[in-house]
Amino acid sequence: MGVNRNLPLAYCPDKYDDWGTIRFAPDEIGRQWHALKVSLPTRDEAVLSKHRVNGTDPCEEFGRFIVTAVNNHAALVMALQRLQHNFNLLLAGKPVRDVAETEAEVRAALSAASASETGKEG
């Protein structure tokens, strides 16, 4: 079987996923394969027990960071490339006709990344 590269990634999308589980988007028949697993930040059983009691996930912050970075990478890179292109035109004294469009792209990419990071992804 080849490497599955279905994006976007999702953090613990299955209610039975263990802490730190990151999965690919569903494939053509609905399976969500494991993409990777974030390691526990501690082995201290007292700390882990508190997470179990509180229903919290010690891996969630870093896991969601990874998901956000991967899912938004292409849009952020494209927005930065457009910004660099316009900046180079400006430095060369050439007209920059699409500054507002570029700003909108950058803002949209950052907004999507922020929404994804806070768990408001669609």
Question: Is the pLDDT score of 75 beyond 90?
Answer: no
pLDDT-derived band of residue 58, with 50, 70 and 90 as boundaries?
Answer: very high
Sign of CA dihedral 85, 87, 92, 95: positive
The predicted pLDDT at position 122 comes to 40
- Amino acid identity at 121: E
Question: Is the pLDDT score of 112 beyond 90?
Answer: no
Question: Is the pLDDT score of 121 beyond 50?
Answer: no
The predicted pLDDT at position 1 comes to 42
For range 65-81, the mean pLDDT: 85
Whether 67 and 116 have beta carbons less than 8 Å apart is answered as yes
On average, the pLDDT of the chain sits at 84
